[in-house]
Structure 1
Amino acid sequence: MKLLVLGVNHQTAPLAVRERLAFTPAELEGALVELSQVKGVAEAAIVSTCNRTELYCNAREADAVLGWFAAQRGRPVEEISQHLYQLENDAASRHAFRVAAGLDSMVVGETQILGQLKDAERVAREAGSLGVLLNGLFKRAFQVAKTVRTETKIGAASVSMAAASVKMAERLFSSIADCKVLFVGAGEMIELCATHFAGEKPARIVVANRTLERAEKLAAQHGGEAMLLNDISARLAEFDIVVSSTASPLPIIGKGMVERALKVRKHRPIFMVDLAVPRDIEGEVAELSDVYLYTVDDLSEIVRQGMASRESEVEAAEVLVEEGVDEFHQWLATRSLVPTIRELRDHTDRIARHELARAKKRIAAGDNAEEVLERLAEQLAAKFLHAPLATLNAAAPHEQEQLAAATRRLHRLPLEDNE
């Protein structure tokens, strides 16, 4: 068995591919149960965000995991393979630590991915697909991320998707203070966007969500109002800016809905940002002349402009990641010794219990206690030494030197002069 990571991200696959391979939150638990039942898969976790879908497994072979992934998403293996990265052992742990630290994100240094990794770990734990290996991996990934945050300034100059959305809107409108903004969804990404746009003091803020209570909670933080998703069609024409990020598997805003809104607006432009994967807004909406639609991939160039000022911090963070990889490798090596250590302990415990029982019987029979204890010590020493001495004596000449050196090291005996 080995640590495997199979996945696609914003660097290897376009948005159209990523949205076909993404898992919705509602799908994750069932998918994890299925994946952990695949032959040769002992543990599994799935990370699925707008920028990546990754399978973390303790598995025998990658082919079985890839076959399941393709079948589960209803895509040919060949189609997925051309966008897929496949990592094993140290390369897999290094990738996990870089993801947790925000080094593999479209927004280098962003912190949202760490929360998403923690959610993935929690869901896997609740689904019963998390074991010793992946538990250890995620635990150390979170530690590495914390160290990177503490010891570097990797996130100091990061430009988030939320901030990039505001910058793009400012290119279209002379003042966001004159705009009415609609946020579709009430998750973490929308919370970030709402905070950034609210800083520009727009004329109105409205939050639309599947559940009104959650929309009201977010809207109240920014002096806005709430509405249900079902009301978007009737009210879309009111808004100059629309920012959407939900977990819906199907588009919420279609081309026909936007066309009707533009007609009511007398073709005043609408700025739209779709941060969801799969997309919330139909791609055909971008074809409308009075709509400026941006997806996560469209915003990537703005986000990357903040990279130059963080290069030295990235280098420092990469060093910390490598230290984390070394520590995890050492932990795995130690874990491989556990069965041997356990059997050795059991073996010596059995000998000790057996000899102790014999000694107690002799004392109960009236034998001299001091003589019994001396005999006990002799018997314990003889039995503990019997197997290693017999192995040394029976070894072939070419094995004896190596076994003798190992024995001296194990028992911390002085090295021989010729060593």
Structure 2
Amino acid sequence: MSVWALGLNHTTAPLDLRGRFAFALDQIAPTLQSLRSSFAPGRHPQVEAAIISTCNRTEIYCASEHAALDHTFGWLAQSGGVAPALLRSHAYTLQDDEAARHAFRVASGLDSMVLGEAQILGQMKDAVRAAETAGALGSTLNQLFQRSFAVAKEVRTATEIGAHSISMAAAAVRLAGQLFEDIHQTRVLFVGAGEMIDLAATHFAAKEPRSIAIANRTLERGEKLASRFGAEAMRLADLPSRLAEFDIIVSCTASTLPIIGLGAVERALKARKHRPMFMVDLAVPRDIEPEVKALEDIYLYTVDDLAQVVQQGQANRQAAVAQAEVIIDAGVQSFMHWLGQRGTVPLIQQLNAQADEWRAAEMARARKLLARGESVDAVLEAMSRGLTQKMMHGAMAELHAGDAASREQTAQAISRLFLRKER
């Protein structure tokens, strides 16, 4: 059995390229179906697959009897509508122990933009649930991910990897504080109502801004989040006409196209008499048109722009990283041992089937002897002798076949299998 993974993340690919491969949770099931149906059933029967898609990464994990990295890579390039050569220059491919190591590092927060952040673990669990619901998660990938979650838990328990981490939301608050002397006097708008916006709203609300508003496509969901912060809920359709009211805008939706355009921001600036606006686009693909960043009095940050802020304090966590890598190494070795044992499963199944066939034959023979009036002792003796002869026949035949060298190898194997002393 082989496991392989490929993907691109914040360290290997720019934001706009990552945006071409971003999949919302409701897209995962049909996307997995498309991927699995693309494999030739004869060569790769029942390929297991899972997709992890966040603002910082898109990764595909697969398992089958034979690895198919090139095929999976070609499928991914086609799904994103980019040339394979372009994708290859920004992607990574991993197989077996390296794929497992990568999954464990991702789950533990060692491969995140915010070193040690815990959000990725929840996102991985969501991805696994989506793959399981889609019927794409088999025993091998399930084992890989369950072990990755266990390793992540041990890393967070046994090390201080997350002790100094700065979340993306906290970084946004820090940058806003550099622009506005007193966030308490600002009006803040959050666009979207997902997990990232929830986290960002929590951080900004702690600064007690003058007002908070939540704009969301589904008003009911926006109202639910707004109620937690004493905020106003508004429809996404009202956003262009009300943009000028806000000093700080944080956006993160699942839209495939920008929802805040250059024209709307220009009109908002004019209405504000060019008072500055702080904008954070946490979405992948982008929610805010990139041209907005060139406007005067606009301070626009994307997830990639926040990288420098969240990396502060990295040196304080290096000792914890070394400890985490030791835990991950042990986890990888354990998984690869389990994966290696999976290769013997068909043989074990054949042995069990053969043994069941012999047992059934001897049981049938014993019942006939009992029905004819044979004594129980005689029947048991005949049954045990019959089973023993069937079990030993193949080994005895091999000992008498072949040349001297092969007979010697057979003799050593038989000694290990049949002449072991009980401890």
Q: TM-score range by the shorter chain?
A: over 0.9
Aligned position for 1:39: 39
Aligned position for 2:238: 231
Q: Could you tell me whether the CA contact under 8 Å between 1:206 and 1:225 is conserved in 2?
A: yes
Cα distance in 2, alignment partners of residues 371 and 24 from structure 1: 70
Amino acid at match of 2:168: M
Aligned position for 2:279: 272
**Aligned counterpart in structure 1 of residue 405 of structure 2, from 378, 398, 404:** 398
Aligned position for 1:201: 208
Deviates more, 1:278-287 or 1:350-359: 350-359
Amino acid at match of 1:47: I
Q: What secondary structure, in the 3-state scheme, does the structure 2 residue paired with 1:189 have?
A: helix
Amino acid at match of 1:252: I
Aligned position for 2:228: 221
**Aligned counterpart in structure 1 of residue 121 of structure 2, from 114, 117, 124:** 114
- CA shift for structure 1 position 414: 4.7
Instruction: Give the paired residue count.
Output: 415
Cα distance in 2, alignment partners of residues 265 and 224 from structure 1: 22
**Aligned counterpart in structure 1 of residue 298 of structure 2, from 291, 299, 304:** 291
- CA shift for structure 1 position 123: 1.2
1:207-257 Cα distance to aligned partner (Å, 9 max, x none):
111111111111111111111111111111111000011111000101100
Aligned position for 2:17: 17
Q: What secondary structure, in the 3-state scheme, does the structure 1 residue paired with 2:343 have?
A: helix
Cα distance in 1, alignment partners of residues 312 and 57 from structure 2: 21
**Aligned counterpart in structure 2 of residue 332 of structure 1, from 331, 336, 339:** 339
Q: What are the within-5 Å matches in structure 2 for residues 13-412 of structure 1?
A: 13-40=13-40, 42-59=47-64, 60-411=67-418
Say if 1:274 and 1:412 are closer, same or farther in 2 by CA, change over 3 A.
farther
Q: What secondary structure, in the 3-state scheme, does the structure 2 residue paired with 1:315 have?
A: helix
Amino acid at match of 2:55: C
Deviates more, 1:392-401 or 1:273-282: 392-401
Cα distance in 2, alignment partners of residues 226 and 189 from structure 1: 17
Q: Could you tell me whether the CA contact under 8 Å between 1:24 and 1:248 is conserved in 2?
A: no
Cα distance in 2, alignment partners of residues 10 and 180 from structure 1: 31
Aligned position for 1:3: 3
- CA shift for structure 1 position 148: 1.1
- CA shift for structure 1 position 412: 5.2
Amino acid at match of 1:168: L
1:189-223 Cα distance to aligned partner (Å, 9 max, x none):
11111111111111111111111111111111111
Cα distance in 2, alignment partners of residues 142 and 180 from structure 1: 39
1:371-404 Cα distance to aligned partner (Å, 9 max, x none):
1211211111111111122123214322233332
TM normalised by structure 2 equals 0.95
Cα distance in 2, alignment partners of residues 11 and 392 from structure 1: 59
Cα distance in 2, alignment partners of residues 323 and 165 from structure 1: 36
- CA shift for structure 1 position 92: 0.6
Cα distance in 1, alignment partners of residues 409 and 161 from structure 2: 49
1:103-140 Cα distance to aligned partner (Å, 9 max, x none):
10000111111111111111111112221221111111
Q: Could you tell me whether the CA contact under 8 Å between 1:408 and 1:414 is conserved in 2?
A: no
Q: Could you tell me whether the CA contact under 8 Å between 1:184 and 1:209 is conserved in 2?
A: yes
- CA shift for structure 1 position 186: 0.8
- CA shift for structure 1 position 30: 1.2
Residue identity (%) = 54
- Ranges in structure 1 where 5+ consecutive residues have no aligned partner: none
Amino acid at match of 1:82: S
Q: Could you tell me whether the CA contact under 8 Å between 1:25 and 1:247 is conserved in 2?
A: no
Q: What secondary structure, in the 3-state scheme, does the structure 1 residue paired with 2:249 have?
A: strand
Cα distance in 1, alignment partners of residues 406 and 143 from structure 2: 37
Following superposition, which runs of at least 4 residues in structure 1 exceed 6 angstroms of deviation? Answer: none
Deviates more, 1:32-41 or 1:232-241: 32-41
Say if 1:269 and 1:412 are closer, same or farther in 2 by CA, change over 3 A.
farther
Cα distance in 2, alignment partners of residues 245 and 21 from structure 1: 16
1:40-85 Cα distance to aligned partner (Å, 9 max, x none):
4512111111111111112532111111111111111111111010
Q: What secondary structure, in the 3-state scheme, does the structure 2 residue paired with 1:215 have?
A: helix
**Aligned Cα root-mean-square deviation (Å):** 1.4
Say if 1:387 and 1:269 are closer, same or farther in 2 by CA, change over 3 A.
same
Q: Could you tell me whether the CA contact under 8 Å between 1:5 and 1:92 is conserved in 2?
A: yes
Amino acid at match of 1:11: T
Amino acid at match of 1:236: L
1:155-214 Cα distance to aligned partner (Å, 9 max, x none):
111011001000100000001101110011111111111111111111111111111111
Amino acid at match of 1:26: D
Q: What secondary structure, in the 3-state scheme, does the structure 1 residue paired with 2:175 have?
A: helix
Cα distance in 1, alignment partners of residues 76 and 381 from structure 2: 65
TM normalised by structure 1 equals 0.96
Amino acid at match of 1:5: A
